[in-house]
Structure 1
């Protein structure tokens, strides 16, 4: 993939993880309807690394990501971006943190249909009243292979190209961490592989931190580390995983569900 070596990666403090949870619990409802989605989870996400979160349906993986990203409140424990405790922030501070320090990539692309690809990419900066760093913007656009599609609107782009726009939008503000929730879920295998390659490249070449929720062992194997959840608790993790290793761990979950 083309890179512009003259453009430095985003500045990051070397101290501490990009995000971490300590004793994080999330409970929905009360009484007979009470559901413990997360049960005293403690986990760190290292800077400049690509982490995948996996687990059976209902294991709490998306809930963990939403709490860590400040999209949902926690019931107990703490969630931090850098050294900032999310529960201590006002709504305005939390909005500013998500805008300036967090990038998001979702299964649905969430592009505005009346804007061009370039306008969608730079929208978070426009909302913040900031002008894009042109050299960094060019680097991000080149990384996701969109240089020839910037004037196109979403309806003129394939699903894979729309998700590339979403990835570029997540990276353009140089966030401290990017959260991706099933980013390949609506894509064919080829487009999905390309998106995973772009996320991998953003970590290796641009210095980003990416945390991705996925159900796909092949997608998870593109990460540096895989964290496994079951019943709202972290049960295992793998480093430098191979697809067959991830698949074997998931088979254990399935076997446990059948015998439980």
Structure 2
């Protein structure tokens, strides 16, 4: 059963006092420490932090891919925390889109079939006008019949982006979406993501270690040692790098 709660309609995803602990005793690792954050609708937010800071763990908990040890996560008005397998499956199918570093395309399907796969699984027909808009936006009109092996890495990731967007989810989570791409292909994918937010009102939460990638976002949230320690708005590569350098110094001092 899906739990709903009255929430601010401007918030697409929310974490409230979220803790994530792996293991017990001496092997215990605290990945998230009381994280509270809101991610607005129609905004592009990047999550950054040093290696091991908890950024991917936070995204996985927000998306319902991992459970929280304490606290609460919500997507829109749906409380994710405590959902059973059926509820989580429905949430991920109907409300959430995913873009991963590994493109996760099915090799036996064409680009078009890969894009429409989530809708097919859900038994939904695509909105043809929206499908055509998405295809035009990612520039794949002449590649729809091609299989992944016939596409470049950048084209494959654009297929993955179109697949995430075509179902019009409440929020798209992107985990290092340009990690396997050259700089030109990466810029094309990031420009598409940025355009989907600014022109079509999509909500994107992206984990990245790349300051240039983060500069495409409207807001950057920084984690260190499992906690949110800073954020900046309208980022540039320079402001992101400056913040990361400060975090590296602070992290190094704490370890020392």
Sort the TM-score into its range (normalised by shorter chain).
over 0.9
TM superposition score normalised by structure 2:
0.95
- TM-superposed CA distance for 1:258, in Å, is 3.2
2:141 pairs with 1:141: no
- The yes-or-no answer on 1:81 pairing with 2:75 is yes
Which residue does the alignment assign to 1:246?
240
Q: 1:10 — aligned with what?
A: none
Question: Aligned match of 1:192 in 149, 164, 186?
Answer: 186
For the residues of structure 2 that align with 1:258 and 1:128, how far apart are their CA atoms? 47
Partner of 1:4: none
How many pairs are equivalent?
A: 248
Which position in structure 2 is the counterpart of 1:62?
56
Give the alignment partner of residue 253 of structure 2, picking from 249, 252, 259. Answer: 259
Alpha-carbon distance, 1:254 to partner:
1.8
* Cα displacement (A) at 1:87: 1.7
The reply on whether 1:36 has 2:39 as its aligned counterpart is no
User: Could you state the TM-score of these two structures normalised by the residue count of structure 1?
Assistant: 0.94
RMSD over equivalenced CA pairs, Å: 1.1
In the TM superposition, what is the alpha-carbon distance from 1:14 to its structure 2 partner? Answer: 7.7
Match of 1:24 among 18, 25, 49: 18
Per-residue deviation at 1:255?
A: 1.8
Alignment of 1:205-220 (within 5 A): 205-220=199-214
- 1:89 Cα deviation (Å)? 1.9
SS of alignment partner, residue 18 of structure 1: strand
1:92 alignment partner in structure 2: 86
Q: Deviations over 1:163-222 (max 9, x none)?
A: 000000000100000000000000000000000000001001111000000000111011
1:26-49 superposed Cα distances (whole Å, 9 cap, x missing partner): 000000000000000000000000
Return 5+ residue gaps in structure 1 as ranges: 1-12
Q: Which runs of 5+ in 2 are unaligned?
A: 1-6
